[in-house]
């Protein structure tokens, strides 16, 4: 008998991307995140685009992909509320708290998530964790504050490094830099998110506990597991 191959991470992402279509409310504007799982969601969206009058996007990259499939993209300022925001995560825990920002889009992701009634996280099963923090925590920082913020993380036991693109610091869609912080112990995501957000020069910390997911569609070899929080 030929053994059945386990699905690849990409196949699991495609599975949850497809499953997320069930959360669209026909005729309503949606929020769309950023990353490789979301790219698969945008591909799936192309098949039902008549149900989606427009989207608010969390990055220039997703905006380009949405427009390429014929979906209009609105500025977040034009929209008061979204029924759903669909995005991936770098880590998600048992309460729906996440680490995000692996794709450097965390600030706009948090803004669009804040407009939405429900955050639907789409992720392969490798993203589900007991405790957040193995994935380096992305923090978007105003360039002149980087060294100051690095020292503040040091005081918490973390090691922050400036994210590079080639030989230059990465510049986000908002013109800022990203620090990736390793070695933090994230016992209380809500409290740590609130605390880091107060540091001068921090634009956004990639802990999504205030803007956590209400639903996670998790891709597993047995199919899509739905976690509701």
* Binding site residues, ligand 5RP, CB under 6 A: 33-37, 87-90, 100-106, 109
Spatial CA neighbour of 78 closest among 49, 55, 110: 55
Q: Pick between residue 30 and residue 80 the one whose CB is nearest to ligand 5RP.
A: 30
Spatial CA neighbour of 57 closest among 75, 37, 40, 77: 75
Residue 202: strand, helix, or coil:
strand
List active site positions.
109
Residue 173: strand, helix, or coil:
coil
Q: How far apart are CA 81 and CA 178, in angstroms?
A: 28
37 is in an annotated binding site: yes
* Smallest gap from residue 109 Cβ to ligand 5RP (A): 6
Q: Pick between residue 102 and residue 201 the one whose CB is nearest to ligand 5RP.
A: 102
* Smallest gap from residue 65 Cβ to ligand 5RP (A): 13
Residue 87 CB contacts under 8 Å (≥ 6 apart), including other chains: 31, 32, 33, 34, 35, 38, 58, 100, 109, 113, 119, 120, 121, 122
CB 213 within 8 A of CB 117: no
* Smallest gap from residue 189 Cβ to ligand 5RP (A): 15
54 is in an annotated binding site: no
Q: Pick between residue 71 and residue 113 the one whose CB is nearest to ligand 5RP.
A: 113
Binding residues: 34-37, 87-90, 100-103, 127
């Amino acid at each position: 008998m030929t053994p059945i191959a386990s699905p690849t991470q990409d196949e699991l992402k495609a599975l949850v991307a497809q499953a997320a279509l069930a959360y669209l409310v026909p005729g309503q504007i949606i929020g769309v995140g950023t990353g490789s799982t979301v790219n698969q969601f945008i591909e799936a969206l192309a098949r039902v685009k008549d149900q989606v009058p427009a989207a608010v996007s969390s990055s220039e990259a997703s905006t380009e992909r949405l427009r390429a499939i014929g979906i209009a993209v609105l500025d977040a300022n034009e929209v008061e509320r979204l029924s759903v925001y669909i995005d991936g995560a770098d880590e998600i825990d048992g309460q729906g708290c996440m680490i995000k920002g692996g794709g450097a889009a965390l600030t706009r992701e948090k803004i669009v998530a804040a407009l939405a009634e429900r955050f639907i996280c789409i992720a392969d099963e490798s993203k589900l964790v007991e405790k957040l923090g193995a994935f380096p925590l992305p923090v978007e920082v105003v360039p002149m504050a980087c060294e100051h913020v690095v020292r503040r993380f040091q005081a918490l036991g973390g090691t922050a490094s400036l994210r590079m693109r080639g030989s230059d610091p990465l510049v986000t869609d908002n013109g800022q830099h990203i620090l990736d912080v390793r070695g933090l112990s994230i016992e209380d995501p809500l409290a740590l998110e609130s605390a880091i957000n107060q540091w001068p020069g921090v634009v956004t910390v990639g802990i999504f506990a205030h803007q956590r997911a209400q639903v996670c569609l998790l891709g597993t070899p047995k199919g899509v597991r739905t976690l509701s929080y």
